[in-house]
Amino acid sequence: MADVVIAGAGIIGCATAVGLLSASPGLEVVLVEPDPTYARAATGRGTGGVRQLFTRPENIALSRYTLDVIEGWDRWAGEDGHEPQALNWRPNGYLFIAGRQDVGALAANFENQQCSGVKAHWLEPAQLADRHPQIQTADLAGAVLSVRDGWLDPKRFFVGVRSKAKRLGATFVTDRVVDFHLTGTAVRSAVLESGRVLVADAVVNAAGTWAPRLAAKVGMRLPVEPMRRHEHYVEGTADLDDLPFIKDVAGLAVHPHLQGLSVGLVDFDHPGGEDFTIDDDYYSRTVAPALAHRLPHCGQLTLKRTWTGLYDQNRFDGNMIIGNWPGHLDNFYVASGFSGHGFMHALGVGRGLAELILHGDYTTLDLHRMNYQRVHDNRPYPEHGIR
């Protein structure tokens, strides 16, 4: 008998366990994870970026909470004499850029972000060119630099969160949740692939790209599917370490990494599915021209490595889906559809789910507008501008 069973022990599942056990020590929290090596988990294949440049206040606040934890990492992750790994945190800032067609939306978003307390600066193209002469600014009409933001080693961050969940008393089981037993509007137990049955007071579906399949077992439709994304590591002949994390409206994302750059350009139209194959021509065909245009003064750039990962892409509105379905599934909670933002928002999501499970409502940050009911009611709640 468990108080809470969590399907999926990736960053979302582990953060939820931390939230539950921090709020209520002694709970019996069981995380079920089919692959303890996390070979295909999204977190380890991501960029590790944390930014506040969103347009929805919930996303801004979730990122800010993660930044608070990062800046106090030794204290947060190093309790009871445990010394956590350094995160290799690089607070170079996030830079959103826009041309004439999109600068109005960027300016409006900038005003909203300032109202939400984001420490950001508006840069005219000439100011940006003075600050970062490596960046092509001739086709730009404005930029926003969020100076507190940055990126880190996502694997080290995940190890720290998972280690904290273990120290707080979470139990990890190597298995896969495949079904549930229901009575009325309540899930009574989770059925594992091994045949084991875990009776629980509450169940959390944090299974990443598997989440829609699990939700379907209890009649909940999640408009979420796996979406392949490529990431490329390139090295150049110029010093690029001072660059911020650059994102433009076309989807290009670039930041310093190791001795070079990590570069991505997401194809949001790629068919969904658990596809980890690498398109060998994608970099030369799509990414390299965009990179050469945006950073023309970085010397010769040489592709060193390409890898793929999966977004749990919410095709409904691109924002996370969190919470239960009151009156239909009272004790079954989902955390899915993060669309590439799960890593940077996991800690606040885990805290919010813990509040919802333990108290029946959010007590620190109101996430109701991100709930599952909006999907059922066809009320999308998307970001505006750059995703």
Specify whether 256 is located in the same domain as 293: yes
Among 292, 311, 330, where does a domain finish?
311
Which residues of the chain, if any, have pLDDT below 70? none
Kindly state the helix (H) or strand (E) to which residue 15 belongs, with its residue range. helix 11-23
The answer to whether residue 137 sits within a structural domain is yes
Can you give the residue range of the structural domain that contains 299? 94-149+226-311
The answer to whether residue 282 sits within a structural domain is yes
Specify whether 249 is located in the same domain as 305: yes
Among 268, 283, 311, where does a domain finish?
311
Specify whether 63 is located in the same domain as 170: yes
Specify whether 288 is located in the same domain as 245: yes
Which residues 6+ apart lie within 8 Å of 322 measured at CB?
333, 334, 335, 336, 349, 352, 353, 367, 370, 371, 372
Specify whether 250 is located in the same domain as 300: yes
The answer to whether residue 86 sits within a structural domain is no
Q: Which two tokens stand for residue 17?
A: 């366990």
pLDDT at 290: 95
The answer to whether residue 84 sits within a structural domain is no
Cross-strand partners of 75: none
pLDDT at 1: 85
pTM tops 0.85: yes
The CATH number for 257's domain is: 3.30.9.10
Q: What angle do CA 16, 118, 109 make, to 5 degrees?
A: 105
Per the structure, how many domains does the chain have? 2
pLDDT at 42: 85
> Is residue 330 within 8 Å of 166, Cβ to Cβ?
no
The answer to whether residue 83 sits within a structural domain is no
pLDDT at 14: 98
Rg (CA), the chain: 21
The answer to whether residue 20 sits within a structural domain is yes
pLDDT at 300: 85
> Is residue 102 within 8 Å of 163, Cβ to Cβ?
no
The answer to whether residue 89 sits within a structural domain is no
Specify whether 67 is located in the same domain as 182: yes
Specify whether 163 is located in the same domain as 208: yes
pLDDT at 79: 75
Specify whether 21 is located in the same domain as 162: yes
How long a stretch of residues is the chain? 387
Kindly state the helix (H) or strand (E) to which residue 345 belongs, with its residue range. helix 342-359
Specify whether 172 is located in the same domain as 277: no
pLDDT digits (tens, 9 = 90+) for 61-74: 999 999 999 999 99
Specify whether 65 is located in the same domain as 158: yes
The answer to whether residue 304 sits within a structural domain is yes
Specify whether 355 is located in the same domain as 302: no
Query: How is 33-50 classified by DSSP, letter by letter?
Result: ES-TT-TT-TGGGS--EE
Among 311, 327, 360, where does a domain finish?
311
Specify whether 271 is located in the same domain as 282: yes
The CATH number for 36's domain is: 3.50.50.60
